[in-house]
């Protein structure tokens, strides 16, 4: 008998490396599939690409930008998603006015650096705010993140930035969720903080909120045992 499918959705410039530390725990209970966003430059298009390749019914976990893609999947085809996990992510559209302009400026600055100095140099700057401060000296962790970014291209980075800057508000999607839902983030996630996840849970009050201690935005790579245990509870697996 085949295992049910768990679709894993990586975030900005990320790939299967984000999920690799979790797979020894998850793969015993689910058939795990990591999606690739290809060259899409919109979240809805990424969701459509995912749905075209996914089975009729599947559990869905999205990290960072992948969480926003997962919400778009639930906007398009909620009946196909048996379980939903939103990890280190958000639901709001880009702010209007000065705050939204500042987000665009910061993202453009990283893209400019990637084009001028290479993706690894850009990632070395990006990672400073993306992991727990005490993990900034963890050479293996940081090398894995930098290697992951270097596998992509500046053109893909530009397309994914475009997708994020044009992101839709997903409040109504959260309010309509009926499947078992997990909202999870690292305690020290400075990009998508705890309050942001509490706001998502307020919109989907049946959702479980799990905070991963001693972890930043890259919690699946920083604290894989705790993240995997949270996901197994969400799936109803008692390891």
Give the residue among 45, 88, 61, 92 at the shortest CA–CA distance from 180: 61
Report residue 57's pLDDT band, with 50, 70 and 90 as the boundaries. very high
pLDDT tens digits along 5-45: 999 999 999 999 999 999 999 999 999 999 999 999 999 99
pLDDT tens digits along 123-134: 999 999 999 999
Total structural domains in the chain?
1
Q: Give mean pLDDT, residues 39-52.
A: 98
Tokens 């930043």 -> residue? 216
Domain, as residue range, for 201: 1-239
Give the residue among 186, 202, 209 at the shortest CA–CA distance from 92: 202
pLDDT tens digits along 137-178: 999 999 999 999 999 999 999 999 999 999 999 999 999 999
Residue 122: CATH number of its domain: 3.40.50.1820
Secondary structure in 3-state letters for 134-187: HHCCCHHHHHHHHHHHHCCCHHHHHHHHHHHHCCCCCHHHHHHCCCCEEEEEEC
Confidence check: pLDDT of 226 > 80: yes
Structure-block tokens of residue 18: 């984000």
Q: For position 239, what pLDDT does the model report?
A: 53
Residue 192, number of CB atoms within 10 A of its CB:
22
């Amino acid at each position: 008998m085949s295992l049910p499918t768990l679709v894993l959705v990586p975030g900005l410039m990320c790939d299967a490396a984000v999920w690799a530390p979790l797979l020894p725990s998850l793969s015993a209970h689910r058939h795990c599939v990591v999606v690739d966003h290809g060259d899409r430059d919109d979240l809805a298009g990424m969701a459509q690409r995912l749905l075209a390749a996914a089975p009729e019914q599947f559990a869905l976990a999205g990290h960072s930008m992948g969480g926003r893609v997962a919400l778009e999947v639930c906007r398009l085809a909620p009946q196909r998603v048996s379980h939903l996990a939103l990890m280190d992510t958000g639901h709001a559209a880009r702010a209007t006015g000065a705050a939204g302009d500042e987000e665009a400026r910061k993202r453009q600055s990283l893209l400019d650096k990637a084009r001028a100095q290479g993706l690894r140099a850009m990632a070395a700057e990006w990672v400073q705010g993306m992991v727990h401060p005490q993990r900034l000296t963890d050479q293996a962790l940081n090398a894995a993140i930098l290697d992951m970014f270097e596998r992509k291209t500046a053109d893909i980075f530009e397309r994914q930035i475009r997708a994020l800057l044009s992101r839709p508000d997903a409040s109504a999607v959260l309010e309509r969720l009926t499947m078992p839902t997990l909202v999870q983030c690292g305690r020290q996630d400075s990009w998508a903080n705890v309050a942001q996840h509490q706001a998502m849970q307020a919109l989907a009050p049946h959702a479980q909120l799990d905070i991963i201690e001693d972890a930043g935005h890259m919690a699946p790579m920083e604290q894989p045992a705790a993240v995997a245990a949270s996901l197994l509870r969400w799936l109803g697996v008692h390891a």
